[in-house]
Structure 1
Amino acid sequence: MAPANTYELSPYEASLAQMDAVKKASQNSDLSYEVVKSLTVEVGPRIPGSAGDKRAVAWAEAKLNELGFDKVYKQAVRVRNWERGFADARVVSPFPQELVITALGGSIATPEKGIEAPVVMFADLESLTQASSAEVAGKIVFLNTRMQRDRAGKFYGRVVPNRVNGAVQAAKLGAQAVIIRSVGTDNSRFAHTGVMRYDDDVAKIPAGAISTADADNLEAMFETQSDIVLSLNMQAKEAGWQTSYNVIGEFTGTEKPDEIVLISAHLDSWDEGTGALDDGAGVGIVTAAAKLVKETLGQPKRTVRVVLYAAEEIGLVGAYQYVRDNKDTLENIIMAAESDFGAGQIYQLDTRFDPAARMQAGALYQALEDMGITLGNNTTNGGPDVSMLPAQGVPVIALRQDGTYYFDYHHTANDTLDKIKPEDIQQNQSVWAMVTAFMANTDFDPRPAPQL
């Protein structure tokens, strides 16, 4: 973390007044919340390639036009559409009872009549990889790794390999199916979905996640019984290739229209809830931030580009398409950022700026420090959909949000509008508007991103 006295207020000190103006305007605006409300009420869940996804694209085009963006356009993205279908799990013996389960995104179905087999429990994916075929063959594997609560969500990356790679590792040892303890920090009967992967060289087996409360129950059974039999029936299916879109809105720069300040979120969501936190909040935040800058300060000097990415949930598909479609102009991006961690209040700014230029943005750091936001590291990847840009020399930032409770709702049916606190999303809106104003209306240039 950089000490406060190491950055320079000049030569951009005049921008403090502009940032203060957009902050005050934001404090009297509920636009970000209203945008999320519109998306969740009028569209709802929007899994890539689905009818909901198509409605979301139409909604986004209409919303950006309604808000007065100078230019609104789309980039086509080919996606595979997958449908969740019916899912049921239950303990057959020794203690018959139902479990709350959801299919993991991309999973194949069980046979139509389901699977009934003994269950074998492993503490984590590493333990499974060290097991023998004799322990696993013909059984249902249960990966039982708890996720710890943390403001930065740092334990997510340690647990999510169960979800992504569990089916492949279990299948290598002859398992019939895999279930995981949901990747979440709640203690509830909401199961958390999320994408999983197969390997073309390994047999495909069904993969699901049970709620954390049911995982606790199943774990407790293993404390007294080793012979536990589970019935599993999931009827997920592939629905073929579809076309989705990145939806993009711009306010064109008056002095340097070819220089781009890119702020973004992803438009798609999983199909269980209404995608309010993941990532309706981000859609509302960045859209409102751009609008507030234009509304308060007039046309920006640099072009402000809002990108609402397609198909983030199934593997950053829209983001990779954006890089391919814009490969010849990526060098024009002054800075890129993404809001994709709910609506918790921002507490830290991380950057990936040219070290020689980083401390010249002291006016920005001072304005954020006045809001209680500290300057963090210079090593961030900026967020999922912009994570491939630093390799192209594009500077990125991450506005770190309080995610203490984010993974209580992440990828569940409980990800709904009521989980967003209006005062929290308004703080995000203010910070994003201030950052956007600084980057768009000064000549601060942090290019190129350092290669770490």
Structure 2
Amino acid sequence: MRLASLFAGLSALLATGLAPAFAAGPAATTIPDRALATAETLRAQGLKDDLAWTLTEDLTTSIGPRLAGSANDLKAREWMAARFRALGFDTVRTEPVSYPKWVRRSESGAIVAPVAQTLALTALGNSGPTPKGGLTAEVAAFASLEALQAATDAAVRGKIVYVANPRMSVRVDGADYGKGSRVRSRGPSLAAQKGAAAFVLRSVGSDNNRTPHTGVTSFADGVTPIPAAALSNPDADLLDTVLRRSAPVSLRLDLDCGLEGEYTGANVIGEISGRDDAGEYVLTGGHLDSWDLGTGAIDDASGIAITTAAAHLIAQLPERPRRSIRVVAFANEEAGLYGGKAYAENHRAEIAKAVIGAESDAGADRIVKLTATVKPSARGAIDRIAAALAPLGVTYDAAAPGSGGSDLSAVHAVGMAGLSLHQDTSRYFEWHHTANDTLDKVDIEQLRQNVAVYAVALYLAAEAEGDFGSAPGAFAKDGAN
């Protein structure tokens, strides 16, 4: 009798439209029509804006390479804070970031037997030094990291391990990079644990130049770093040929590099205030450090410049966006996302305030695709952002996740919604982490397209009515759209 009465009461409520609140789903996050109209203006302005070029030129020319922990590291931080202030950012501050300091002084290498051939190579970040005067040893060659893993310690002990990972193919999405970087990051530690004297691999790059690609490697706790270097692609081809024609083969390495204690740098933060005072913001930026071989133009001076220029464009609108735009120049991304991880830890408790994030760190060529990881009820807002970007040649893959970018992947991991704006990396991996990462590789028209894309995406996210799902632990299982 009681159940019948309850069902009758519920039916009456449904009939009158007064159903309990739990009967409806979560409110959808939306982008107002008026914001879309403003986005059209930003899109046009971005395609004519020269600020990103000016910033990229200045950073690479007046500062140059910015190896984390170097003298130029501090100069770059001071430069960045000064630029934020000069551009009228409302808040400029730094947050300390500590990490091991690695230095490179000199490097050389050669085949010494059965023929004599000089090799173009470069030490990997976190590489240990060779003994003073260099190291000569026989090569133990492996076709893959798996082959090295399967080798006995006796086959490796005292030798220079060489992993001939395949050359990267040219791809718009740079899909092969992960395969090679896995060898670079894990191989030296594995070789050291098996007793190797040193480690060498084919550079992780798609070029045919004698410009080796550096990059970071990691040694497991308790493992003493051994000398570790990357050969340029032509020199790896040469070594492959020598190994195929005769054995044994011996190399000589002379790497003067290594760790020199701890260093405290900083993330540099500039913020354009929104018109609301709720403390919410859209997070963007790039990393301020670079490797020391080139001037870090595409990795990542251009990323800092793109996002700073986009935020500056938004700040010039007659009305500020609802939420703030926060640009972070992250510290020491190259050696292990130190700046991103520090930011994630420092802001973990208030991660819901970072409504969504998008970082630029894949060069300066055109943005070709958008992906995102947000709560389901915010997917419609992402659809509208994607539609506003379509005239700029940006496609949308609604099924693919987006972490926001390299440093922002750490922030995403603690709960920030992610918006990834994928650049065409067909050219990027020719110059990535090499002496050829210089200003001449930046195409100003493609750079402007990046500014237009970021200005539109950041502005619309800042104007969204409703949130994108940021909350502590919200995206622990990334891939949920």
Q: TM-score range by the shorter chain?
A: over 0.9
CA contact (8 A) 2:29 2:467 kept: no
Give the corresponding residue for 2:8. Answer: none
Give the corresponding residue for 2:463. Answer: 441
Match of 2:443 among 421, 424, 427: 421
CA contact (8 A) 1:21 1:296 kept: no
Three-state SS of the structure 1 residue aligned to 2:457 is: helix
1:401 and 1:364 map into 2 onto residues whose CA distance is 17
CA contact (8 A) 1:85 1:236 kept: yes
Matched residue type, 2:71: A
Match of 2:385 among 348, 360, 364: 364
Give the corresponding residue for 2:116. Answer: 96
Give matches, 1:281-300, under 5 Å. 281-300=302-321
Give the corresponding residue for 1:118. Answer: 138
Give matches, 1:220-239, under 5 Å. 220-239=241-260
Give the corresponding residue for 1:86. Answer: 106
Matched residue type, 1:157: G
C-alpha displacement of 1:139: 1.1
1:363 and 1:12 map into 2 onto residues whose CA distance is 10
C-alpha displacement of 1:369: 1.6
Give the % identical residues: 38
Q: 1:48 to 1:203 in 2, by over 3 A?
A: closer
C-alpha displacement of 1:9: 12
Give matches, 1:326-345, under 5 Å. 326-345=347-366
How many pairs were matched up? Answer: 445
2:104 and 2:272 map into 1 onto residues whose CA distance is 39
C-alpha displacement of 1:17: 1.1
C-alpha displacement of 1:161: 1.7
Three-state SS of the structure 2 residue aligned to 1:69 is: coil
1:423 and 1:284 map into 2 onto residues whose CA distance is 14
**What TM-score do you get using the length of structure 1 for normalisation?**
0.95
Give matches, 1:153-168, under 5 Å. 153-168=174-189
1:303 and 1:398 map into 2 onto residues whose CA distance is 19
Give matches, 1:173-192, under 5 Å. 173-192=194-213
Give the corresponding residue for 2:222. Answer: 201
Q: 1:447 to 1:9 in 2, by over 3 A?
A: closer
Three-state SS of the structure 2 residue aligned to 1:445 is: coil
Matched residue type, 2:106: F
RMSD of aligned residue pairs (Cα, Å) = 1.6
Three-state SS of the structure 2 residue aligned to 1:88 is: strand
Matched residue type, 2:173: A
Give the corresponding residue for 1:379. Answer: 401
2:219 and 2:56 map into 1 onto residues whose CA distance is 33
Q: 1:225 to 1:441 in 2, by over 3 A?
A: same
Q: 1:201 to 1:328 in 2, by over 3 A?
A: closer
Give the corresponding residue for 2:37. Answer: 17
Q: 1:99 to 1:139 in 2, by over 3 A?
A: same
Q: Who wins on radius of gyration, i.e. which is larger?
A: 2
Matched residue type, 1:188: N
Q: 1:380 to 1:357 in 2, by over 3 A?
A: same
Three-state SS of the structure 1 residue aligned to 2:407 is: helix
Three-state SS of the structure 2 residue aligned to 1:328 is: helix
1:257 and 1:420 map into 2 onto residues whose CA distance is 38
Q: 1:439 to 1:277 in 2, by over 3 A?
A: same
1:361 and 1:387 map into 2 onto residues whose CA distance is 19
2:387 and 2:413 map into 1 onto residues whose CA distance is 29
CA contact (8 A) 1:256 1:303 kept: no
Write the deviation string for residues 264-313 of structure 1: whole angstroms up to 9, x where unpaired. Answer: 11111111110001111100000000000111344222111111110111
Q: 1:231 to 1:20 in 2, by over 3 A?
A: same
Match of 2:334 among 301, 306, 313: 313
CA contact (8 A) 1:251 1:300 kept: no
- Using the TM superposition, name which of 168-177 and 271-280 deviates more: 168-177
Match of 1:31 among 51, 61, 66: 51
- Using the TM superposition, name which of 193-202 and 356-365 deviates more: 356-365
CA contact (8 A) 1:13 1:363 kept: no
Write the deviation string for residues 364-386 of structure 1: whole angstroms up to 9, x where unpaired. Answer: 22111222211113422221111
2:142 and 2:318 map into 1 onto residues whose CA distance is 57
Q: 1:10 to 1:170 in 2, by over 3 A?
A: closer
1:378 and 1:367 map into 2 onto residues whose CA distance is 19
Q: 1:322 to 1:360 in 2, by over 3 A?
A: closer
Match of 2:367 among 337, 346, 350: 346
Q: Does 1:394 align with 2:416?
A: yes
1:187 and 1:254 map into 2 onto residues whose CA distance is 51
Three-state SS of the structure 2 residue aligned to 1:46 is: coil
Matched residue type, 2:450: N
Give the corresponding residue for 2:265. Answer: 244
Write the deviation string for residues 365-416 of structure 1: whole angstroms up to 9, x where unpaired. Answer: 2111222211113422221111123333311110011001111111111100
2:122 and 2:347 map into 1 onto residues whose CA distance is 37
C-alpha displacement of 1:143: 0.9
